[in-house]
Amino acid sequence: MVGYGVQKKALVTGANVNVQGDRISQMNTTTAMEALQGIAAGVNVTRNNGSPGAGTKVTIRGLGTIGNSNPLYIVDGVAVGNIDYLNASDIATIDILKDAASAAIYGARAANGVVLVTTKKGVKGTKPSVTYENYIGFQNMYKKLPALNAQEYMFIQNEGRTNDGLAPYDWETMLLNNSYLNNNYPGELGKELGQYVWNQLQDGWEGTDWVNEMTMKNAPVQNHALNITGASNDLTYALGFSYLDQKGILGGDLIGAGLNRITARMNTELTLFKNSRHDILTIGENLTFNNSRNQWVATSNIYWNDLHNALVTNPLLPAYWDKSPDPNGFTPTLEGISLGQTNPLAMMFYNRSQYSWGRGNSLAGNVFGVFEPIKNLKYRSSFGLNSWFGNSRSWAPTYALSAQYNNANDGVTQSMYQGVDYTFTNTLSYDFSIREKHNLSFLVGSEVLKNKLNFEVGGTKANSIFGLPEYAFLNNVNVESLSDINTWGADWAAQGGGLLSYIGRSTYNYANKYMLDVTFRADGSSNFAKGKRWGYFPSVSAGWNFSEEEFMKDLGWLDFSKLRFSWGQNGNHNIPNFIYTSNIEYRAQGYYFGPNKLVSTATAVPANVPNPDVTWETSEQLNFGLDARFLKGKLALVADVYQKTTKDWLVLAPILGTAGAGAPYINGGDIENKGIEMSLIWNDNFGQFKYGVTLSGAHNKNEVTRLANAEGIITGPAHVLSQGTAYISRVEVGFPIGYFYGFETDGLLQNQDEVDAYVGPEGKPYFEDQRPGDVRFVDQNNDGVIDDDDKVMLGKPNPDFELGLQLNAEYKGIFVLTTLTGKFGMQVMQSYRSFADNFTQNYTTQIFGRWHGEGTSDRIPRLSSSSHRNTNYISDIYLHDADYLRVTNLTVGYKFNEVLKGWTWLQGASIYASVNNLYTFTQYDGMDPEVGFGHDAAWASGVDLGLYPLPRTVIFGLNVKF
């Protein structure tokens, strides 16, 4: 597949990767993109986290923008937001267009590459066939990071106190101190709880293991897919139905967290008129329907992350207490330990998706007609549709576990939404040959993309009549005051606009030996002001099948070889509309004139500084490639070298405060990505033993080369590793995008001699109170002070090198296949507690490696019971190399083809057992070195705050084909 057409592989001049659908199905992943990890060189796929349906972050050939870096997904010719709605069994092939020339035909939206998905279709002249694929699996945590138990916790906390010269904690008094429970409930409930815990501890109770309490053992996953394909004289058809249900390892049993997805698909093609030589009029459709519910848990920053909560909550708090005033028995907060450490199970139970019902639907596909009046002159018209609709209802329950964690008024929310984008594409193509050797083809066309409907309406009311989840409907709420109501409604599509494009392509080859391909696309986007709307995206590529040359013909070991060259430009117009003009925005919280402090007076403010000049971001790419096959097809090689330059990236760069309104998007900088990709494929057999090896590797180097604002810096959010700490990610000219920034350290001060020697150029100690066990920060500018000027690049979150290795073997129906993926050269910033403000949060057992005497550690400083620069200065003590090689999948199975030969009605059957995420080779000491989380910044990643880890899944599967 290439854009708007099909091309013979031997004649392709761009850098594309083609992955067959069964290769994806074999991986048994929830979404298709996950299965591409390590399979497609140059395509970096990182899971956002390990929860069901969490999605992936996909970067093709390096991050080229700090805005939206997702590739363009085209399913059967229709642009969609992502392909997570598809079941792997729906997919016939995925083609990834990596270089600019291949993607240029998609012009304005292709700056980040294009993922072309073709769903399964019937094939002319084939018999009907029915395929049933099924697997069930059990997921468990691959690696648990133990938090301290009660005794360890108290010991470590007291060590911090002692180090600070303070008396150890009086745990009994702290446990008994609970004024919220005492004030709000009869008796002295707070004291009673404290006494209960204290007695338990006296009896040797080891405390609560929160991660265990939250984890579902053997969380099930099951997948069923039924596919029917076939053809009659003039009709081909493919029908698919699939069902996936996956529980999450976190919260899977407590709140039923997980993903449930139904997909139904119908693709047909019908020839209406034909003559003896060709079809004259063909019509068809491809439609995929999806219905899903994702019951999520919190997986984000330190304030919204269930696993983080489980790691930091003190183990002294029992999970449940039979005298708890909470109707579900969750133990209230032990205020004396910390007001903020709420029972993490309760927060998951009350504040996540448990009381949120509603399923989302999507319907995507197209209807098309092909008119071919003369052989090879085709007029194709396609009307594509991408629609989404759904409803939701949720209940915000009441709860009361501490002064900080209580909600006296429940609330009900109901909402509905519906939207549709359409794509109307018309192309005319003609293929012909002149004197047999000169093969030409031309394609011209136009495309209109419009967001036709984007409707949402909903409301929230507080104080429901029944106060029960099953009665949580807006009708069942009496409102006491205006502030109890919130409603919304909009049709964002009513504002008009869209994308209008003209495309042209001509290809020429001489005797299948010399290829030349020229494309051009013009796009007009509503996101820019008149005069700035149109972008023009040319490309040219050429290929030389030099194995076809006479002088190469005699080389017996070389079957085929091709050199490729391509150059082209793509665009990106992905910014909100109306950036180019001034916007007056109404603020729900404006100002409070008059006595009503519940509802603000109507308030309007100029929202942004207009940028009338804002226009396309352009990505320009140069690619050289080599394809070769050797030894009668046993060995194949694909190699590419590229340089991709993103120019005038669309960026929301900080502006001077004097502007007086929000920053506009500007065409604000350049990024350069350079890299090499290579794949080697070997397939051979010894008699009945067949085997194959695919090895792929990709290297990428990323550098920001221009940032248009004076500061030349864009910084990530603060309070990432802990409340009260500085930002850690940044974008700066001369550095890779999203690099980690902070203090470099030179180990710890081990003894008094080292303390005395840690002085500035004038012999003055860097810190008056420095002592053994403290961090030795590096004074980069040697000015005798450790301050912001000493911060440097510590590392970066994106890999230098990615590796993929697939092995497969088959003997007499028994087959084994395994996939290994590796990423190298990236780092992770890790923190599993809010160390700068929440000192009584728990630690993981990593803390046993702390400094507690000379030579005991050179990384984790001495403990302190309060805030200390050792930890508060963001430094490389949080930085970890995260190189890893993972056995992503190992499958062993048996094909019954031989055994069942006699059963003609059965075309094939196989069973298999498989393990996903079998083993990870890594020195990273966290739960999972694959860390896609980057906090609030889309361009940042590699921040591990207790990221939902990828489970290890044991799967049993069955495939039958009738």
Nearer to other proteins, 179 or 475 (CB): 179
Query: Least CB distance from residue 524 to other proteins, whole Å?
Result: 5
Query: Least CB distance from residue 348 to other proteins, whole Å?
Result: 17
How far is residue 84's CA from residue 115's CA, in Å, rounded to a whole number? Answer: 13
Position 553, amino acid: K
Query: Least CB distance from residue 610 to other proteins, whole Å?
Result: 8
User: Contact at 8 Å (CB) between 68 and 652?
Assistant: no
Query: Least CB distance from residue 437 to other proteins, whole Å?
Result: 22
How far is residue 787's CA from residue 869's CA, in Å, rounded to a whole number? Answer: 11
Residues 6+ away with beta carbon under 8 Å from 92: 20, 21, 118, 119, 120, 121
How far is residue 7's CA from residue 17's CA, in Å, rounded to a whole number? Answer: 13
Query: Least CB distance from residue 533 to other proteins, whole Å?
Result: 6
Nearer to other proteins, 151 or 872 (CB): 872
The SS3 of residue 940 is coil
Strand partners, 889: 819, 916
Nearer to other proteins, 510 or 593 (CB): 593
Max distance between CA atoms of the chain, in angstroms, equals 101
Query: Least CB distance from residue 517 to other proteins, whole Å?
Result: 21
Nearer to other proteins, 417 or 567 (CB): 417
Nearer to other proteins, 209 or 306 (CB): 306
How far is residue 160's CA from residue 561's CA, in Å, rounded to a whole number? Answer: 67
Query: Least CB distance from residue 825 to other proteins, whole Å?
Result: 30
Pairing status of strand 406-407 against strand 438-462: unpaired
Backbone CA torsion sign across 276, 280, 283, 284: positive
Q: What is the DSSP letter of 837?
A: T
User: Contact at 8 Å (CB) between 889 and 34?
Assistant: no
Q: Which residue has the tokens 């050199």?
A: 563
Nearest to 637 by CA among 553, 546, 558, 543: 558
Query: Least CB distance from residue 161 to other proteins, whole Å?
Result: 10
Distance set, CA 628 to CA 581, 625, 676, 698 (Å): 53, 10, 16, 18
Nearer to other proteins, 417 or 839 (CB): 839
Nearer to other proteins, 176 or 955 (CB): 176
Nearer to other proteins, 178 or 702 (CB): 178
How far is residue 923's CA from residue 927's CA, in Å, rounded to a whole number? Answer: 11
Q: What is the DSSP letter of 354?
A: T
Query: Least CB distance from residue 676 to other proteins, whole Å?
Result: 36
Nearer to other proteins, 634 or 706 (CB): 706
Query: Least CB distance from residue 206 to other proteins, whole Å?
Result: 28
How far is residue 617's CA from residue 649's CA, in Å, rounded to a whole number? Answer: 5
Nearer to other proteins, 120 or 378 (CB): 378
Query: Least CB distance from residue 578 to other proteins, whole Å?
Result: 5
Nearer to other proteins, 591 or 903 (CB): 591
How far is residue 110's CA from residue 573's CA, in Å, rounded to a whole number? Answer: 10
Nearer to other proteins, 130 or 529 (CB): 529
* Cβ-based burial of 202 (10 A; exposed 0-12, middle 13-18, buried ≥19): exposed
User: Contact at 8 Å (CB) between 76 and 117?
Assistant: yes
Query: Least CB distance from residue 337 to other proteins, whole Å?
Result: 12
User: Contact at 8 Å (CB) between 939 and 66?
Assistant: yes
Residues 6+ away with beta carbon under 8 Å from 326: 332, 346, 399, 400, 401
- Helix (H) / strand (E) containing 214: helix 210-214
Nearer to other proteins, 533 or 895 (CB): 533
Position 316, amino acid: L
Query: Least CB distance from residue 247 to other proteins, whole Å?
Result: 29
Query: Least CB distance from residue 92 to other proteins, whole Å?
Result: 28
Nearer to other proteins, 184 or 512 (CB): 184
User: Contact at 8 Å (CB) between 666 and 614?
Assistant: yes
Nearer to other proteins, 379 or 546 (CB): 379
User: Contact at 8 Å (CB) between 282 and 703?
Assistant: no
User: Contact at 8 Å (CB) between 924 and 881?
Assistant: yes
The 10 Å Cβ neighbour count of residue 86 is 26
Query: Least CB distance from residue 268 to other proteins, whole Å?
Result: 24
- Rg over alpha carbons for the chain, rounded to the nearest Å, is 31
Query: Least CB distance from residue 720 to other proteins, whole Å?
Result: 15
Query: Least CB distance from residue 787 to other proteins, whole Å?
Result: 6
Distance set, CA 460 to CA 360, 377, 393, 400, 463 (Å): 19, 57, 10, 21, 10
How far is residue 342's CA from residue 214's CA, in Å, rounded to a whole number? Answer: 14
Nearer to other proteins, 41 or 401 (CB): 401
How far is residue 532's CA from residue 855's CA, in Å, rounded to a whole number? Answer: 64
Nearer to other proteins, 501 or 888 (CB): 501
**Residue 24 phi/psi, 5° resolution?**
-75, -45
Query: Least CB distance from residue 589 to other proteins, whole Å?
Result: 5
Q: Where are the alpha helices (DSSP H) in 330-423?
A: 344-351
The SS3 of residue 335 is coil
Helices and strands: H and E segment counts in the chain = 12, 46
Position 153, amino acid: Y
Nearer to other proteins, 458 or 813 (CB): 458
